[in-house]
């Protein structure tokens, strides 16, 4: 394992025999960028280029609302993959699942979808969930 400071340095290290090259400064810069893009996220992981799974505390606007009524996929294009409640995971929750204060949700979406969700739901303090 070798540490590179840029792409050219990484290619040189590979040519001289490094079996794996890491880019800690670049990787940390990407993490900081994700943190700035989704400031209220607990954790963000890129699943595919442009698509992220974001771990976030349930926005107050969704307390007591079922996933079906929230219509997050229809409104934002995001998918709720799991809910963590009291250290228990509910993977692939149904539309009937009622979201509760204290829940942590794991959502999947592209960056544009997630930014819209964060702007309207997570960062909002005065909005109200309405049926579409």
- pLDDT on residue 124: 64
Average pLDDT per block of 10 residues along the chain, 132 residues long: 92 93 86 76 90 94 96 97 97 98 97 92 56 34
Residues 100 and 131 in one domain: yes
CATH of the domain at 89: 3.30.70.1450
- pLDDT on residue 132: 31
- pLDDT on residue 27: 80
- pLDDT on residue 31: 76
- pLDDT on residue 94: 98
How many domains is the chain built from? 2
Residues 106 and 121 in one domain: yes
Q: Is 81 exposed, middle or buried (0-12, 13-18, 19+ CB in 10 A)?
A: middle
Residues 71 and 100 in one domain: yes
Residues 54 and 24 in one domain: no
Helices and strands of the chain, counted as H and E runs: 5, 7
For 71, the domain range is 39-132
């Amino acid at each position: 394992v070798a540490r590179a400071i840029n792409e050219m340095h990484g290619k040189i290290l590979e040519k001289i025999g490094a079996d794996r090259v890491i880019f800690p400064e670049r990787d940390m810069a990407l993490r900081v960028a994700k943190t700035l893009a989704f400031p209220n996220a607990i954790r963000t992981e890129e699943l595919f280029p442009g698509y992220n799974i974001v771990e976030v505390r349930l926005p107050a606007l969704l307390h007591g609302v079922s996933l079906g009524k929230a219509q997050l996929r229809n409104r934002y294009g995001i998918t709720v993959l799991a809910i963590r409640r009291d250290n228990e995971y509910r993977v692939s929750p149904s539309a009937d699942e009622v979201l509760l204060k204290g829940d942590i949700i794991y959502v999947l979406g592209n960056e544009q979808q997630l930014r819209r969700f964060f702007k309207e739901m997570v960062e909002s303090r005065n909005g109200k969930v309405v049926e579409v």
